[in-house]
Amino acid sequence: MLFVTLTGGGIWGLGIALSTPHRSRWVMLAALLAVVIALHLILPTGHPVRLVLGETSAPWVFLAGIAAVVFGYRCILNRLRTKVEEKQVETRTDAPLFSDTELNRYARHIVMREMGGQGQKALKKAKILVVGAGGLGSPVLQYLASAGVGTIGVIDDDVVDNANLQRQVIHRDKDIGLAKVFSAQTAMVAQNPYVTVRPYERRLTDDIAADLIAEYDLVLDGCDNFETRYLVNKTCVALGKPLISGALTQWEGQLSVFDPANNAPCYQCIFPQAPAPELAPSCAEAGVIGPLPGVVGSMMAVEAIKVITGAGASLRGELIIYDALYGESRKIALERRADCPICGG
């Protein structure tokens, strides 16, 4: 027995000298014990090797039994410790999403039957991308931030111009010359420091559209050109993301929720091709009444909140046209086109 004890001590000491992990040292000792017991079982009584190893295997079997009990006990403890740690992680994960300040801020949402705490949590966890930080983007971004949407992305390659300030209310006179996405970010965080704003100072192009939109749950398009509108629509359809699109000119605005994944038409179902330039002049050419983007953009923000929370009935398969000059609004039913190159079939 002395020989085995010294051998075991030597293995342990060598492991310490070589900085061998504890687990490896215990494995080597277990292997030594297994070899000793095996030799006792294989060799005949009185064999010299058995005499050196202690003549009988009984103490080694007893030692192996104790080691097995200790090892099993440690395994059970480790498993229990792991479960406790997982429970602690779950507890931390289930910790309140909102500070007292946020609860007070969103109280008017939370008391509404259609929203409640679950709806506000959905907004907190939501990621929404807004394409364009101009006329429509301004109220959209302001109201999504103030409503408590957790992560808001905004992409635009333009800078604030003096002529924008007549209607693009998220920007200020001191922001002239500043990138719109950074001007908007500053205003949004000042309004609600509990939201995350991701500014992308660039034009949305085909090479980045899929990767960018894939990060978000919902897209709102308020851009001012058809090329980008069709790109956003195509990408949203491919990724199964709902799209809220708005447009305006002079005294009139319109919006709809395009969502083929939920049996609604896509943008290109309704507008198969871009109109001739003379039929769709820009705001600079045709003009636009200042408050109109606020009206339509606010309606887009409402639709976004409904889509995220599931409250009410969104404008899937419907188009609202608002005529500010005569104070009228019309709702038109929309249907998917079987021959649509984007979502047909």
DSSP for 117-148? Answer: HHHHHHHHH-EEEEE--STTHHHHHHHHHHHT
**Per-residue exposure over 63-76, b if at least 16 CB sit within 10 Å of its own CB, e if not:** ebeeeeeeeeeeee
CB 257 within 8 A of CB 316: yes
CA 117 to CA 90: how far, in whole Å?
Answer: 20
Taking the model in full, what pTM does it have? 0.72
CA 229 to CA 270: how far, in whole Å?
Answer: 12
CA 137 to CA 127: how far, in whole Å?
Answer: 16
CA 81 to CA 236: how far, in whole Å?
Answer: 45
Contacts with 227 (C-beta within 8 Å, 6 or more apart), sequence order: 274
Which 3 state secondary structure label does DSSP give 252? strand
pLDDT tens over the chain, length 345 residues: 555 566 656 665 665 666 666 566 666 767 766 766 666 666 666 666 656 666 666 666 666 677 777 777 777 877 777 666 666 555 455 567 899 999 999 999 999 999 999 999 999 999 999 999 999 999 999 999 999 999 999 999 999 999 999 999 999 999 999 999 999 999 999 999 999 999 999 999 999 999 999 999 999 999 989 999 999 999 999 999 999 999 999 999 999 999 999 999 999 999 998 887 766 777 777 889 999 999 999 999 999 999 999 999 999 999 999 999 999 999 999 999 999 999 986
Block residue for tokens 């929203």? 115
DSSP strand pairing (252-258 vs 243-249): antiparallel
Question: Quick count: other Cβ atoms within 10 Å of Cβ 263?
Answer: 10
Block residue for tokens 């195509």? 234
CB 206 within 8 A of CB 227: no
CA 65 to CA 170: how far, in whole Å?
Answer: 75
CA 273 to CA 108: how far, in whole Å?
Answer: 42
